[in-house]
Amino acid sequence: MKKTSTRLADGRELVYYDRRDDTVRDAVDRRPLGPVATHSEIRHDRLLGDAVAIASHRQERTYHPPADECPLCPTRGDRLSEIPDSAYDVVVFENRFPSLAGDSGRCEVVCFTSDHDASFADLTEEQAALVLDAWTDRTAELSHLPSVEQVFCFENRGVEIGVTLGHPHGQIYGYPFTTPRTALMLRSAGAHRARTGRNLFDDVLADELADGSRVVLEGEHWVAFVPYAAHWPYEVHLYPRRRVPDLLALDGAARTEFPQVYLELLRRFDRIFGDGAPRTPYIAAWHQAPFTGERGAEKGEERGEFALHLELFTIRRSSGKLKFLAGSESGMSVFINDVPPEAAAQRLREVAST
């Protein structure tokens, strides 16, 4: 992998990740852009104890542009975009309309391919491996920023999810705090350790493998399963067999196998609802341990208990029907799932590639 860092016309950082070491990136952003103006702040909810990012400038972000005006396609001739070069493998750049900025963290966009009409599932294993390298490198870089305590790599796909740009891309958030979801998992892991003397994530994976009814696929280094208490109609958790806290700690064997396993999962998701059905909308989310931040040794102990894993789920519950977060889910955070996890796992095994 070759990494080339440059700056856009408004000062934002852009990084090319190329498979070839001899690739030269010297294109200049020719757009007449002024400085980025952000109005992002973190407000804490005293009742719930969580945080809300207030980012009013995001109201002006690009919304469903026509394909020939896509800002994530390469620049070609006089058609200028966020990527100055005329082609690319993987590109990461600072979001022009970030939810988090400055002392409140950082937001980046990850373009998986220059092919506007592709999807992550269409990538080759070599391309997917480069994306994994980019996620890992950005996790390392953002972890050194004083405003970042936790790095979250994710992809939203499909208009049903709320995606406003159709080009295949994901995002990376550098939060200035440990997110509520992660804090809850860490509390559960701590309580499990105190009660049993064992690691919670290890026990979850071992229990799923022993039961087997919810296991979707197994590799030598990765296991994918529908969790026992799945929140979403079709939800898969992907774990490395060897527990590590983050992407940085994956060994070479796990990194090599990941593209094969992950691409197979994504392709199965597109077949859940039968041939001819629209591509399945999904969210793919990497859960990584927070970095030490201000809590020092205590956070270091928590990192040792956490297990890197990827959560992949869709809000589609059947062909043409979506799972909405209505009264119970939105009002009380109590999910009601219409699809039994065992049935979801069975369906994901049925649509395996031949």
Q: Among all residues, which ones are annotated catalytic?
A: 169
How many CB atoms are located within 10 Å of the residue 132 CB? 19
Q: Which amino acid does the sequence have at 42?
A: I
Whole-angstrom CA distances from 259 to 111, 281, 344 are 17, 20, 22
Helices then strands, counting H and E runs in the chain, come out as: 7, 15
Q: Which of 331, 244, 238, 354 has its CA nearest to residue 285?
A: 238
Tokens 């809000």 found at:
315
Nearest-angstrom CA–CA distance, 253 and 255:
5
Type and span of the H or E element at 106: strand 106-111
Q: Which of 96, 85, 94 has its CA nearest to residue 13?
A: 94
Helix 296-305 to helix 180-196 angle (10° resolution) is 80
